[in-house]
Amino acid sequence: MAPTTPELVALYGEPDDIAADFDDYKGGATNLDRVDWALAALTPFHVATMGGAAPPGLDESWADTDAESAIGDLICDLLHLATYTGCDATTIWQRGWSHFEGEAGLGYES
């Protein structure tokens, strides 16, 4: 299901404050842009690991589906890649979560 509450629609339709601070940052990326980028990365992984099927459309809920499992599996495999290539997986995980919190506006007063 696509976001429907006014807060989520704004969150996913407008460039976030971080992107707005940097004029050259991906052209003022919106969180919906980030959803599209993640879907582009997830789709071939989902096809390869979930029996050849593409993930469902973005207009459907992915809760309790193979697509939800594939997201977790991809995150795990990216951490394996980080470790294998000499990166600190914990630092990467924390950095990713920190970026998500900032971009999604978590922990801030509305």
The conformation of residue 56, written as its DSSP 8-state character, comes to P
Per-residue pLDDT averaged across 22-38, rounded? 74
The answer on pLDDT for 73 being more than 60 is yes
Burial, 82: exposed, middle or buried (Cβ in 10 Å; 0-12, 13-18, 19+)? middle
CA distance 61 to 89: 29
- The answer to whether 101 and 107 are in contact (CB under 8 A) is yes
Angle at CA 33, nearest 5°, toward 4 and 49? 95
* Average pLDDT across the chain, whole number: 82
Q: What is the pLDDT of residue 110?
A: 46
Domain boundaries, the chain: 6-104
Q: What is the pLDDT of residue 24?
A: 55
The answer on pLDDT for 67 being more than 90 is yes
17: its two tokens: 């404050």
- The answer to whether 58 and 45 are in contact (CB under 8 A) is no
Q: What is the pLDDT of residue 33?
A: 85
